[in-house]
Structure 1
């Protein structure tokens, strides 16, 4: 994501660009295909590292999509986006499930409607009135916190502590604390920073409430497999701009002279090695691959980059269930709030501009239920083991059981074994069937408390080296496609400045900040400077009750 974005921005400004990529264009966003499943002239069944999700607060990435031409579309690849209009909060046995209209057509919404949208409501199986009000207080405290407090206090505070989980009810913990992290960023609430979780919920809520500089649907998805609908057109466009795209090659070592990079040693097919020389270098390696390069030149270029090795990654892995009948569970995403593996899903065929059985597989597959598995360390409901300790077949059975637990009940069966044609688990996860411990070749950055300080800036101490990736500091403080896109734009802008201002800088879109809250943030900045608490920050009602 970051590498292709940087290549496009630089090529448009007249630079001669070479991109080397060892595995596949698009990184974690790319599609894969289940080998040998296509029959009768059909394509192989598509699979994904995880389903794509374009929330309303994404602005930089949609700008890139609009500039990738697609035949017959005035909006470029952005014309391949489709609005997901509903969100289902699934509950075990369907007791207390909620379907929420998140469409743009529904118009402006109230904060209460936002709380209901994420499955929160007082009464019944839901939260008590005081719990609901306290969670609203947590959101208000974060939304009115100054930038100084966000970095100086909430960055060092876990979401668990910020949301006051200790002593709270299991329903509050499940809906407001754990659910807010594991279904979004695959992180444990005990270690993920309130700066990150609060920021994501803030950005998503403004989109849902219809607030922002650009009014966009709160939830959009692609109209086909990611590579077909987006990455392949992108690569063709880069080729048309003169970008040299070298697949199968990876950077092994940097050569330096003083504070300048003079070459990059790359390794390609059959172990071939050569050195690439350029005026400027953009390091767009994923965070878990940077460590080896630090030992081979990168740390010599900028010693502060060693802090990157302290960043934490975890697993958020995609799995696809291929079904013999269309099963549009809801017209959008499903959050399984009672799932121990923190599952989310979407029924894809309803959004794809094709006849699914005529296009993919052997003609008997009519739908693809795409699932993200976000918690790999929690025991499941079938085998009592975390996903990391299960075989691939056990994971498939366990995920299917958790899906059925959330979607079946109340006299209605959405899923049953007769629908299941086959399944596919992301091939980036290896060794589940042995030998040795399971490995994930494409983990996700997790913003643990205090991690902002360890994340690099786009500019480095080396005069001609710049960093891009979803772990580089950007306005979106979360490992996302938007964050990677923004980091690449920041790298390009730093490069342009170093090169003498060649071309206009790339626009890096800021997150929406409502003017109505500006004065409250100014007051909070004064309070923080004085070492005082946020004006509205107080103990939860259950902590007060415990002291009585």
Structure 2
């Protein structure tokens, strides 16, 4: 392999790679590796839901379901494979609805593409849109999937007791527009001093160094940060009841953030990025696709990957088989892991990218952990199956119970708000008339179950038709809170029901009631509201009811898509190495050249000396939202970024093996000198970082994209933090009510 590194044009084909899982992480890894000449096969156990419906000729759709949580979900009336119907009549709706003649597309969530999703934007502009020719062949066009994104320029929010508000998703273009926005804020009844202090805390975060964020802010909740509660436990500021309620409600609505237990660094970084990019005036500031995700993105991606030589196989992975011990052999020549499929087939790829969800990754690596492998594999032990601490997230490890759980059972997951896994799910309401609540996103402040929605069909090129699809419009809703009781829906003991206690029909009816109540501020006359009522609804496919398979009768008992949320002090518990930016512009924790790195290698774990993701037994790398990323938030963006880190680790390892174990990638190959503020400011990096095996994948750090004006104070704060000193501003400005 040494000659291959020296003269790649004359060497044998690149190593084989098995990618386990066809979600965003798996597809991204396959894409990046195929572009660099690796021989890639993707294994996914789920079939594309459109196959077997008789709506298109055989072979029209991919053999496996692509996209994971990002994929569209196709629901039908009646049974499919003996399972209950996924598309169900809305309870209480009079008359017989028009049944669709084909499967109906819906989304798990918004499929929202905010401006700071730079990994996704970079990816979308590299996927051609394919068009079917008269001969039935698919050919690439000059358009890319990025052209299929439509800008969303508005967002709305309900206000308890007042009319709903609509805000622009762009910076006001004039003083008049700015004053108009301020006028709406006044309608919320928020005191000016509350707004001023909140803004001061945001500015305080912006001038806080990544080092202090890692050492201190990650161990605070976002609520504690915004009230200025320090180590002494005393809040510096008390907000008015109306502002305090808003501060506690809005994080739940966004992505199941908990203000009391959510990691302040992740929560505030995500919040800031959503608003710092409002000054963009191109057509990709914030957007959604112009059709169902699977059709507008994933189908084109599949065709492009096939054109790059990627193969897709419908098969599940059962386990990763430890390599046979080879004492005395050099580390880079030791045997590699084999993959056993559920049908008993044993694969022997050169590299394996585990791009499955966290519970599945923990399950298939059991045998590897039994061999004493460290790093990511050790971090996976109990990551999903250990019960959360009973008292609070920072409860000492030695006092926690050793109980294990099934991470897919609703009764076992998310019972306490500091559980790192929660149930965040979606529901689609279908209407037999045109109904667009808002051409943008809607947040229902005060809704017990943390609801938000979008009428996505209004941005689709191919609009639904009643005769064909059984509906004309669709409202996609996210349910972010499965634990709070309803004030209206009660059980036989008079207690408010939570979403986890409901049947499918109860959940649909209660979500719609909460939406109508929030919009009309009338909890008693929901049935009389001046809104059209749904004719159909479809719950997220990941939910399963107690009556058996599918979404039949009984309450929710299983969620096949547990959602990872950022919990106070929990970042260090995520498996694997820290993310590494090839440009060297980010805070990373680089292993020393001493005992720790040597100890990892003794346990079959390799890591480049510059840091980054780890390679286990010369072959296994992990990718997915549960790994550490600069994005931090569980999202399409984090999945895409994580896969790029995994590919970069494979490139480094491949070069290390090809150099006979001498090149350990301590530095990137070309030292560039970058102008101040030049990096991470656009949709793609201006400078490539090559290796002998091909360019590193672009990596964007969202914290590098915070305003450049704050950098000087961040740099100064990092020096203070290294010396265990308070933030520079804290040494100049006494706490509220304190003495100078």
Q: Same fold (TM over 0.5)?
A: yes
Q: Once the two structures are superposed, what CA deviation does each residue of 1:40-83 show, in whole Å capped at 9, x if it has no partner? A: 99532112222200000011111111111113663411111111
Tell me what 2:383 maps to.
310
Q: Aligned to 1:445, which of 548, 564, 580?
A: 564
Question: Partners of 2:319 and 2:623 in 1: how far apart?
Answer: 17
Partner of 2:450: 342
Q: CA deviation at 1:463?
A: 2.4
How far does the alpha carbon of each residue in 1:121-178 deviate from its partner, in whole angstroms, 9 at most, with x for none? 3x44332112111111121111111011110001111112112297544422332233
Task: Give 1:91-170 correspondences, 5 Å limit.
Answer: 91-93=159-161, 95-103=162-170, 121=185, 123-164=186-227, 168-170=239-241
1:536, CA displacement in angstroms?
A: 4.5
Partners in 2 of 1:30 and 1:406 — Cα distance?
29
Relative to total residues, which structure has the larger helix share, 1 or 2? Answer: 1
1:443-482 residue pairs with structure 2 within 5 A? 443-455=562-574, 456-457=576-577, 458-482=613-637
Change beyond 3 A, Cα 1:301–1:115: farther
- 1:371 alignment partner, SS class: strand
Q: Structure 2: how far apart are the matches of 1:292 and 1:149?
A: 35
String of CA shifts for 1:189-239, please: whole Å, max 9, x gaps.
22210010011012222212339xxx6643200111111111111112212
1:275 to 323, 346, 353: 346
Q: 1:135 touches 1:176 (CA, 8 Å); kept in 2? A: no
Aligned residue for 1:290, secondary structure, equals helix
Whether 1:510 aligns to 2:701 is: yes
Instruction: Compute the displacement of 1:401 (Å).
Output: 0.7
- Counterpart for residue 264 of structure 1: 339
SS of corresponding position for 2:375: helix
Partner residue in 1 for 2:638: 483
- After TM superposition, list the pairs within 5 Å mapping 1:47-66 onto structure 2: 47-66=106-125
Helix, strand or coil for the counterpart of 1:19? strand
Deviation at 1:505, TM superposition (A): 1.4
For structure 1, the 5+ residue unaligned runs are none
Residue 11 of structure 1 is aligned with which of 26, 30, 34?
Answer: 34
Measured in 1, the distance between the counterparts of 2:435 and 2:729 equals: 46
In structure 2, the gaps of 5 or more residues are 1-23, 47-64, 79-86, 88-97, 132-140, 230-234, 326-333, 385-419, 490-495, 548-552, 578-612, 656-691
Match of 2:392 in 1: none
Q: Contact conserved, 1:56 with 1:216, CA < 8 A, in 2?
A: no
Q: Counterpart of 1:381 in 2: which secondary structure?
A: coil
Q: Of the two, which has the highest radius of gyration?
A: 2
Match of 2:598 in 1: none
Secondary structure, aligned partner of 2:73? strand
Quick one: structure 1 residues 132 and 20, their matched pair in 2 at CA, closer, same or farther if it must change by over 3 Å? same
Q: Which stretch has the larger CA shift, 39-48 or 83-92?
A: 39-48
Q: Distance in 2 between matches of 1:114 and 1:468?
A: 46
Match of 2:273 in 1: 203
Equivalent position of 1:522 in the other structure: 715
> Structure 1's 377 and 292: CA in aligned 2 closer, same or farther, altered over 3 A?
same
Whole-Å Cα distance in 2 between the matches of residues 522 and 255 of structure 1?
A: 45
Match among 318, 322, 338 for residue 255 of structure 1: 322
Partners in 1 of 2:181 and 2:559 — Cα distance? 35
Distance change (3 Å), C-alpha of 1:437 and 1:49: closer
Counterpart check, 1:80 vs 2:80: no
CA gap of 1:125–1:323, structure 2 versus 1, over 3 A, is same
SS at 1:303 equivalent: coil
Which residue of the other structure, out of 27, 34, 47, is the alignment partner of 2:68? 27
Aligned length: 530
User: Distance between the aligned counterparts of 1:222 and 1:109, measured in 2?
Assistant: 32
Deviates more, 1:380-389 or 1:296-305: 296-305
Change (3 A) 1:436 1:221: closer
Alpha-carbon distance in structure 2 between the residues aligned to 1:203 and 1:238: 31
Find the counterpart in structure 2 of residue 245 from structure 1: 312
- Structure 1 counterpart SS, 2:338: strand
Counterpart contact for 2:111–2:288, Cα < 8 Å = yes
Residues 629 and 638, structure 2, Cα contact 8 Å, conserved in 1: yes
Q: CA-atom RMSD, angstroms?
A: 3.3
| 166-175 or 365-374, which deviates more | 166-175
